[in-house]
Chain A
Amino acid sequence: GQQLNQSPQSMFIQEGEDVSMNCTSSSIFNTWLWYKQDPGEGPVLLIALYKAGELTSNGRLTAQFGITRKDSFLNISASIPSDVGIYFCAGPNDGGATNKLIFGTGTLLAVQP
């Protein structure tokens, strides 16, 4: 079945540093989604990508839909303490037929003030 590999598993950085994380799929996706989950809360959608090569920003966050359609990248610039959380990538589990998603295992981000 489809798999999403997300890396790194965790990151410990200083406030102000930039962050990069990525997600790779074993098959082609036509949608990439990036979510952030705060401790004890539900994931919140950060960025949605629907076209290969697409580059989309949301404040200090920028995500890209890889040209091969098998990967996506999320960058956070000038990190702040409230960026702490788990970041998940997600994509359609069955080519979009049913809206089911498959999720990566997440990247835990810790930001030291």
Chain B
Amino acid sequence: DGGITQSPKYLFRKEGQNVTLSCEQNLNHDAMYWYRQDPGQGLRLIYYSQIVNDFQKGDIAEGYSVSREKKESFPLTVTSAQKNPTAFYLCASSPHTGGRETQYFGPGTRLLVL
């Protein structure tokens, strides 16, 4: 089945540690996105990529990094510079780069800081 997978479902990070969240899609979508969701809040854009080997910062990129070496993969690294990393992280992809915008989401990864 086509879709977006995120792993792991839960991730624990120690203080000062970098962690990488995985996002893979087999939908052949060009664009991919990372969002952060905090309790009672909407989704905030961290990074997005419209094409392989290219990505742009979203609204809250500080303390995060990404790469887009393959069309189907868009991993997110939460660095030690992110002071409040505990949140629910959602990856999304989109088949269009303009026009009829529609994004499809993965199941999410919950990151907890120990």
Give residues in A with beta carbon < 8 Å to B. 4, 31, 33, 35, 40-45, 48, 50, 88, 90, 92-93, 96-101, 103-106
Taking a contact as CB atoms under 8 Å apart, the answer to whether B42 and A105 are in contact is yes
Number of interface residues of B (CB under 8 A): 31
The DSSP consensus for interface residues of chain A is loop
Q: Quick one: CB contact mask for B53-75 with A, threshold 8 Å, 1 for yes? A: 00010100000000000000000
Taking a contact as CB atoms under 8 Å apart, the answer to whether A31 and B107 are in contact is no
Distance in angstroms from B38 CB to nearest chain A CB is 11
Residues of chain B within 8 A (CB-CB) of A4 are 42
Distance in angstroms from B113 CB to nearest chain A CB is 18
Closest 5 CB pairs of A and B: A42-B105, A103-B42, A103-B43, A105-B42, A99-B101
Taking a contact as CB atoms under 8 Å apart, the answer to whether B42 and A104 are in contact is yes
Q: Is B83 an interface residue (CB 8 A)?
A: no
Taking a contact as CB atoms under 8 Å apart, the answer to whether B42 and A99 are in contact is no
Q: Quick one: CB contact mask for B86-99 with A, threshold 8 Å, 1 for yes? A: 00101010101111
